[in-house]
Amino acid sequence: MTPNPLPEKDFPWWLVLVSGVGLWLFYEVLANPEYSAVLSTLTKGIWITVMVSVVAYLGACLLGLALAVGCLSRFLILRQLCRLYIEVMRGVPIIVLLLYVAFVLSPLAVAGINAVLEPLGAEPVRTRDFPLLWRAVLALVLAYAAFLAEIFRAGLQAVDKGQVEAAQALGLNGWQRFRHITFPQAFRMILPPLGNDFVAMVKDSSLVSVLGVGDITQLAKVTAAGNFKYFETYNVAALIYLTMTIGLSLMMRRLELRLKARETR
């Protein structure tokens, strides 16, 4: 007995429920002086959270795409090096990588730069000249690139080889085939997991608070430590993150539907 197929378009009752609860919570926050004061403080960290998420995700996409192409390269050494990077980075917790980049890799990089500048008589670079904010962004780029590489690789391999061979028969070189044939089709297929990873990046950006970067989470920690209102403070922080992530999920869903509608025309 075959199960009844699910309807293609369900009315989003869950969204109505979430929106209603969210509006009620925001009303309670704005009407309560204690909650309102906490919200006013935490909103100052939204810009840092958004900036870290967007910059780190764009950097991770570029590096991840390069790693995916390297994994599909005809050169054995390049394939093995890319695979080594992906497996190692996926096996290290992001918070450990964050601390390693901030306090091990960055000082080593500065020492290497100074070793080059010293014979030239240039002024040495200090480790503190490399802000913790950008160390955190670099760590997120290195971590997420490994996961995005696997998404890109799966999408590139899913493109019909016949279309690639047809483009090759038309005289398109490797870059033209990748740009006009392979990547556009792969991108449409991998858009949902890419959107999911961007939402995950917004949440994982809260890890930069361990370095003292003034994002939403760090401001919540400082605020709660000062007013001892942990319940109110972290409720507001969770509400801000939920608003951002659910909003992003809905935007990605709408973009996915628009791309599907364009394909069926």
Q: What is the mean pLDDT of residues 138-157?
A: 93
Tens of pLDDT along 101-111?
999 998 898 88
In whole angstroms, what is the distance from residue 239 CA to residue 232 CA?
Answer: 11
Percent of the chain with pLDDT over 70: 95
Domains of the chain: 34-263 (1.10.3720.10)
- 209 contacts 217 by C-beta, under 8 angstroms: yes
**Is the pLDDT confidence value at 265 over 70?**
no
Q: What is the mean pLDDT of residues 38-52?
A: 92
DSSP string, 62-77: HHHHHHHHHHT-S-HH
Q: What is the pLDDT of residue 237?
A: 92
Q: What is the pLDDT of residue 257?
A: 78
In angstroms, the Cα distances linking 207 to 123, 142, 182 are 33, 14, 35
CA dihedral sign, ordered 99, 215, 238, 32: positive
In whole angstroms, what is the distance from residue 189 CA to residue 110 CA?
Answer: 41
**Is the pLDDT confidence value at 122 over 90?**
no
Task: Pull the structure tokens for residue 223.
Answer: 């605020």
Tens of pLDDT along 212-254?
898 999 999 999 998 888 888 998 999 999 999 998 988 888 8
